Structure 1
């Protein structure tokens, strides 16, 4: 039987770029660059809750790291180091090799060193602690939004939720559209370059993991604000093209999770800078509405000015 330490050495011990000492000792040794502060986040993925137990291991390896990289992107930080704790029901070498391949593919894409972690036998669970850097005082938090700020979102939100609906039999999509939705679900693309580019521009930011409305609610809570979203401004075109009707498209975009797009606020006077950044990154950025002074209120507004409170917020593990 393959030992725990053999598995670690064989599949997870890779050359490090940013670390004095990485995998193989009791602790890693890392040196932040001068003038930088650390941003640290932890996220857990559990079989049956965050992914299907029979998920493709290479895609799962990518997603395990990508969702953590996205947390740093949401702060405007550059990812540097990660630690992986993984619980495995069995030492399946082929599965582990594929999982590690996907994880290190993501690590290579975003410049992350895997510097340690732990393995044990148990239900399939992955926990990553990720550490990044950003210049002191330049972190974009959830608490900076102010009444009058624009609300923006990146990319094509809702595709991942539509892909999940298709897997569960709640949506009928096929061909290239289905593959695009499943790619969004299984291989999210953290918006690191956008997060870095929004330093000094965005007033508040979060990544969309539990649904646009729910995650915007976190910004509203921390910023002490409300928001009005314009239904006509919702970027539904890609969802419609994939075969979703209007109701399903809105539900996927507003209440679906797993997008890992960046949802951010910014003062109106920087709209040109926001749009220029999107053009430079070749990434669509959509203005959805604006914050207002009514703390916690989240309204969805028709083109004729009629508004109603948002009924659904987002995913909650314990709701």
Structure 2
């Protein structure tokens, strides 16, 4: 039985999620969806779970929570070179959820789904005594055998990263310590906070990676840690010049106020940019194709025969207290 002022499960699904349903979802009236993969394509599947108090603040705007839940999965698909097909949502709601929260959450989720071309196919909605917990499984498609794997980097490949690094981690610091915002003008502060709240998956790079990259992954746990993961997964070494890592004007301004924040920018998570390994012979074509998609990319290092992993800053080896975000 629904509690006063709140819809029951069937009405909740009909009100907030049925408008997001895609082809094959049967208007979310069945227990399963049916999809037909594009002819001659491989399926790519990815899933991410988000927990209040771990991946987002419980009082973050509901639309930002909905946006981020799907965006992090679209980022994974983009890094594999995959075109989105659809997604499944599992949502565990705590006792204090409200219709206003659900309206905002579904609006943000729907905005990201519409922009990403990735419709809702189904899922599950349950109650939990614990914090808000949600999980999305996204499906994409690539040409046969075309998935861009983190294991594909080769010795001699140049390492590129898209966009700007560190903004989300610095935005999290601002969220944890609002007094840091006094060091920035309001526009710069808001830019960093927004990059933490609403990641922008680099879907436009997916076909570029398919055409030119040997290996790739998205930067979700920090540039230093994720570059290390790609090299290790490929059985290679790595040399990265962190002075070449692209920073936004807002990020540079905050780091200038406290140089210790450079480590936060290089090792913090939630960038959701693309890190990839490209053969030198393909580098110019890769740059041109990325520019044609209006996605900035920066060359920051090289894959080596290994096994040494080296990060350089200011012309000297860089040492960090931790390489990346980890749950454990």
Over 3 Å counting, the alpha-carbon distance change for 1:55 and 1:237 in structure 2 is: closer
Q: Given the alignment of the two structures, is residue 156 of structure 1 paired with residue 164 of structure 2, yes or no?
A: yes
Over 3 Å counting, the alpha-carbon distance change for 1:308 and 1:241 in structure 2 is: closer
For the residues of structure 2 that align with 1:203 and 1:31, how far apart are their CA atoms?
A: 28
- Aligned residue-pair number: 316
Equivalent positions of 1:140-151 (< 5 A) are 140-151=148-159
CA contact under 8 A between 1:84 and 1:127: conserved in structure 2?
yes
CA contact under 8 A between 2:47 and 2:135: conserved in structure 1?
yes
Gaps in structure 1 of 5+ consecutive residues: none
For the residues of structure 1 that align with 2:154 and 2:204, how far apart are their CA atoms?
A: 24
Q: CA deviation at 1:22?
A: 5.1
**TM-score, normalising length: structure 2:** 0.91
Q: Given the alignment of the two structures, is residue 31 of structure 1 paired with residue 42 of structure 2, yes or no?
A: no
Q: Given the alignment of the two structures, is residue 108 of structure 1 paired with residue 114 of structure 2, yes or no?
A: yes
CA contact under 8 A between 1:22 and 1:28: conserved in structure 2?
no
Equivalent positions of 1:113-262 (< 5 A) are 113-122=119-128, 123-169=131-177, 171-172=180-181, 173-245=184-256, 247-262=259-274
Deviations 1:173-206 (A, max 9, x none): 3400011111111111101110222103111111
SS in 1 for 2:102: helix
Equivalent positions of 1:54-69 (< 5 A) are 54-69=59-74
Gaps in structure 2 of 5+ consecutive residues: none
Aligned with residue 104 of structure 2, among 68, 83, 98: 98
CA contact under 8 A between 1:76 and 1:196: conserved in structure 2?
yes
Q: Match of 1:49? A: 54
SS in 2 for 1:199: helix
Q: CA deviation at 1:237?
A: 4.9
CA contact under 8 A between 1:160 and 1:181: conserved in structure 2?
yes
Q: Match of 1:315? A: 325
Q: Given the alignment of the two structures, is residue 267 of structure 1 paired with residue 273 of structure 2, yes or no?
A: no
Q: CA deviation at 1:311?
A: 5.3
For the residues of structure 2 that align with 1:45 and 1:199, how far apart are their CA atoms?
A: 28
Higher helix share: 2
**TM-score, normalising length: structure 1:** 0.93
